[in-house]
Structure 1
Amino acid sequence: MSFNLPSLKVKPEHVSNIEPQEGPFGVPNPLVAGLAATKNKLGMSHPLEVSERSFHLNQDKMNMAMLRNIQGLHAPLKLTMEMKFTSKIGHLPFLQRSNFQNDVLSGRHLEIGFEDILNTPELREVAGQPHAVVERSLGIL
């Protein structure tokens, strides 16, 4: 509901894309353009990097194929529907989402991974102020 009022957020008149400046060796300077700009130009750091990125996807496909061969078509369809339903469960933005139900359905609750030990930013234990987090998610701040 805008009530035809102007937005409180300041928006630029026109958006222009700033291209990163190339350094002396054809690689953007990370001090000027940031590390994200240099990562796009670099290749894979290790041959197994692509395989590791798609490990869980490949494992899920293999498990679904095996489940279909053993129990029939209904079993992977039911499991896929349950996983889709668990991914759509809503929560307030300031509450951390564990996604434990989806991990149980996929069998990942038995594994200890990188995120369990080094704690990724979305799993941090520090909670923000609820009002500020909700307003930020709604685009008010």
Structure 2
Amino acid sequence: MSFGLPPIKVKPAPICNDFAIDNGSYGLQSLMTTGLATTHAGDSSHPLILSERNYHKNRHTMNMVMLRNTQGLHAPLKITMELKAAKQIGRLPFLSSSNVMHDSLTGRDLEIGPEDVFNTAEFREIEITVEDT
């Protein structure tokens, strides 16, 4: 029995090596172009890193599919339009947005994470005031 839910298992990103780097005279790559230690940017040291990186996106997708299955297409469409409207709220360039509406719609206002503790004005490198602009 299928409920039409998206899979939770993380799929590894495909590694594309479309470009070819010319080898040197001895068949080795030049250190000037490749560097001393080359690693793939997509490789992770732990399998949960990719899952945690996409946690909020996966949770939002799962919630939208469950809403569509239980209440119909109108519920995810309404929430999507509310999120889009919350993202388009404009501010003056020197004022930072707190994204309270977006956080309350996505449920992040109920969570406390590292971005809440370390993203305050006192920890920022540059603090912009109204008089500076």
Normalising by the smaller structure, the TM-score range is 0.5 to 0.7
The equivalences for 1:43-122 within 5 A come to: 43-119=43-119
RMSD of Structure 2 on Structure 1 (CA): 2.5
Give the Cα separation in 2 of the matches to 1:56 and 1:128: 30
The share of aligned pairs that are identical, in percent, is: 48
Cα deviation digits, residues 112-135 of structure 1 (max 9, x gap): 11111222xxx42574133645xx
What amino acid does structure 1 have at the position aligned with 2:121?
Answer: R
Deviation at 1:20, TM superposition (A): 6.9
Q: TM-score, with normalisation over the residues of structure 2?
A: 0.63
Q: Taking CA–CA contacts closer than 8 Å with sequence separation of 6 or more, which of the two structures ends up with the larger relative contact order? A: 2
Look up the equivalent residue of 1:117 and give its one-letter code. Answer: V
Give unmatched runs, 5+ long, in structure 1.
1-18, 28-38, 134-141
Looking at structure 2, the residues matched to 72 and 41 of structure 1 have their Cα atoms a distance apart, in angstroms, of 40
TM-score, scaled relative to structure 1: 0.59
* Deviation, structure 1 residue 72: 1.2
Alignment partners' CA distance in 2, 1:124 and 1:21: 39
Give, in angstroms, the shift of residue 87 of structure 1. 0.3
Other-structure match for 2:17? none
